[in-house]
């Protein structure tokens, strides 16, 4: 089962503010500011507004729309209630994003009255919990379930019984298949193929000859075949930490020290999850609420505090502190479970890894701040108190 909330951010705002119901609500940046649409209500979609669209474009299409900033905290709270509700139906719930999840309902009590009734029961439970509608797809595998949930939005329910995969997919356009983006669509269309049914007419070796490695995926997906399992402990896509200052500041040295502390926290969490990052992003919000992000990518994935800090510090040094800073944060992304194969004589890197293993043992016994980077120490700064950090 795939559960997908309908226009989630916008629906939450319409629930909080009844006066917005039935009106075009656009969540993202405010008109006149740089940014993109995070969510659009179905009323706004009638004007052509959709997620990831520049706010300026959305405003030109729907100037009378209600533009609202993203309220991440509220959305996460509602999302948590939804996922808790889903866990009552299956022990295997995979959170795909803040507003969608997969459930393995094989053998679960909810299916005793049939698949359609199972979908009805889940949708009702979500509505009872948060007063929001969801679209549900039920199928023999995750790939089909996700496509099914999208066919009757909003507030839809689509069931694809085993054995009817080909019939369900046949009339759909090729854009519905995983991995088929705008460029790929045109590439497929150029060969006279517009529907999944047309793909089904080709053998595997023919599709590979036409599209290379993509042809292999097109062959299996066009036939509704997917072997991926529902995983209730999906690895994190990023690990970050940020803090908001009680008193806004422009002190570069103090910001560097705070950034070092944040880098330590991120490094500890990476190692606890046995993850390595190959991208670091710096986030700064000024007292004017102007927010900037700067990122750097690197070939060798890392999870060591001082290396994360060195990348973040490089980004910070390139930012002109023309205004006071109210928030600073660091995020490690492009995560993987392995770094790279160590060469036999890379003793420095091996010793550094051993060092962090020892540091983590000390922190586990005496507290995370029992031993820190020297760069995280603020030297002789008056009225500078240690900040309390909130993980994100």
Q: Which residues of 332-352 are buried (b: 16+ CB within 10 A; e: fewer)?
A: bbebeeebeeeeeeeeeeeee
Please tell me the distance from the alpha carbon of residue 130 to that of residue 81, in angstroms, as a whole number. 7
The answer to whether the bond into 154 is cis (omega within 30° of 0) is yes
Candidates 232, 360, 338, 324; CA nearest to 277 is: 338
For CA atoms 80, 24, 52, 100, give the dihedral sign. positive
Q: Degrees (nearest 5) of the Cα angle 333, 336, 342?
A: 120
Question: CA-CA distances (angstroms) from residue 132 to 7, 49, 123, 145, 165?
Answer: 10, 21, 9, 20, 30
| DSSP tag of 54 | B
Active site residues: 100
- 68 by Cβ neighbours in 10 Å (0-12 / 13-18 / 19+) ranks as buried
Tokens of 105: 């309902």
């Amino acid at each position: 089962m795939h559960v997908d909330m309908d226009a989630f951010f916008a629906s939450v705002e319409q629930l909080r503010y009844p006066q917005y119901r039935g009106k075009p609500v656009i969540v993202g940046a405010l008109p006149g500011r740089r940014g993109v649409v995070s969510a659009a209500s179905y009323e706004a979609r009638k004007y052509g507004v959709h997620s990831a669209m520049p706010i300026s474009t959305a405003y030109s299409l729907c100037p009378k729309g209600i533009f609202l900033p993203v309220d991440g905290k509220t959305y996460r709270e509602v999302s948590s209630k939804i996922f808790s509700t889903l866990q009552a139906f299956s022990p295997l719930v995979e959170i795909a994003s803040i507003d969608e999840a997969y459930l393995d309902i094989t053998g679960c009590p909810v299916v005793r009255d049939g698949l359609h009734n199972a979908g009805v029961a889940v949708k009702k439970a979500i509505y009872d919990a948060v007063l929001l509608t969801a679209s549900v797809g039920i199928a023999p595998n995750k790939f089909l379930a996700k496509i099914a949930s999208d066919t009757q939005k909003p507030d839809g329910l689509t069931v694809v019984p085993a054995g009817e995969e080909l019939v369900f997919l046949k009339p759909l356009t090729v854009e519905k298949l995983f991995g088929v983006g705008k460029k790929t669509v045109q590439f497929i269309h150029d060969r006279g193929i517009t529907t999944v049914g047309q793909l089904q007419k080709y053998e595997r070796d023919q599709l590979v000859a036409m599209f290379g490695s993509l042809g292999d995926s097109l062959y299996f997906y066009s036939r509704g075949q997917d072997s991926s399992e529902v995983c209730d402990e999906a690895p994190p896509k990023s690990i970050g930490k940020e803090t908001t200052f009680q008193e806004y500041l422009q002190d570069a040295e103090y910001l560097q020290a705070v950034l070092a502390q944040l880098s330590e926290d991120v490094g500890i969490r990476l190692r606890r999850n046995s993850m390595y990052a190959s991208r670091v992003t710096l986030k700064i919000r000024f007292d004017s609420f102007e927010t900037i992000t700067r990122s750097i990518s690197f070939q060798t994935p890392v999870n060591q505090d001082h290396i994360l800090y060195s990348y973040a510090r490089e980004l910070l040094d390139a930012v002109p502190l023309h205004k006071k800073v109210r928030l600073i944060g660091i995020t490690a992304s492009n995560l993987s479970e392995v770094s790279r194969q160590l060469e036999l004589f890379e003793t420095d890197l091996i010793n550094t890894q051993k060092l962090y293993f020892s540091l983590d043992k000390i922190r586990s016994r005496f507290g995370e701040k029992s031993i820190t980077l020297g760069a995280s120490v603020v030297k002789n700064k008056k009225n500078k108190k240690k900040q309390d950090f909130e993980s994100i």
